[in-house]
Chains A and B, each alone.
Chain A
Amino acid sequence: DIQMTQSPSSVSASVGDRVTITCRASQDIMNWIAWYQQKPGKAPKLLIYAAYSLQSGVPSRFSGSGSGTDFTLTISSLQPEDFAVYYCQQASSIPPTFGGGTKVEIK
């Protein structure tokens, strides 16, 4: 199985900050990575798929980049509703595997 290592595990940031979350795959996954946002007590929400494709309805302040083994999710200007846990997921092969999550907290 492909391992996904996400960092940092948590980040404290203020409204308006630029936040970057990284994910490293244990092998080449080309651009087959998805990113999710999860708020307490809710199901995850798809933000980005295929590394940089923005899911319909997701604000443009979210962006993804990377290929091969190293990937990044960037929130260009953090908004109050963005405080949540973020997960990456490799979509290169079955089983799909998730990173451990990054909690974005209020500074």
Chain B
Amino acid sequence: EVQLVESGGALVQPGGSLRLSCAASGFIFSTSYLNWVRQAPGKGLEWVSLIYGSGHTNYADSVKGRFTISRDKSKNTLFLQMNSLRAEDTAVYYCARYLASSTNTGFDYWGQGTLVTVSA
């Protein structure tokens, strides 16, 4: 069974840092295309970042230079390092997998989400 389990969400002050984790199981982690997608309270979905099976990465303009996606293949874990956090980064953060390792499909498995709140 495919599972994605996020952790690491917390209340953090503006300008602070946080690292989110997503523990994956039930599929071949090393070749999968994995993403972070966020949802601000009461709002829609916003894609944040992607890491390909090759290790290549992409970022939304809104987080470029502040967030870093990475993975530990030995632990089947995806990470999102978030620096210089702003109030507008407040959201539930989901990790999600692209179906069939293709960016032309959709996100077929999602975690339960972890809440990040940026506030003084």
Contact = CB atoms under 8 A, between A and B. Distances in A.
Interface of A: 1, 32, 34-36, 43-46, 48-50, 55, 87, 89, 91-92, 94-101
Contacts of B44: 87, 98-101
B45 interface: yes
Contacts, number: 62
Contacts of A94: 50, 58, 103
A35 B103 CA distance: 14
B105 interface: yes
A38 to B, nearest CB: 8
Interface residues of B, number: 21
B1 interface: no
Given A87-B45, A97-B47, A101-B44, A43 B105 contact: no
Main secondary structure of the interface of A (DSSP, over half): loop
A51 B104 CA distance: 10
Closest 9 CB pairs of A and B: A34-B106, A43-B110, A49-B106, A98-B45, A49-B105, A46-B106, A96-B47, A46-B108, A32-B104
Given A46-B106, A49-B105, A95 B45 contact: no
B81 interface: no
Contacts of B60: 95
B108 A98 contact: no
A87 B108 CA distance: 14
A45 B113 CA distance: 13
B43 to A, nearest CB: 9
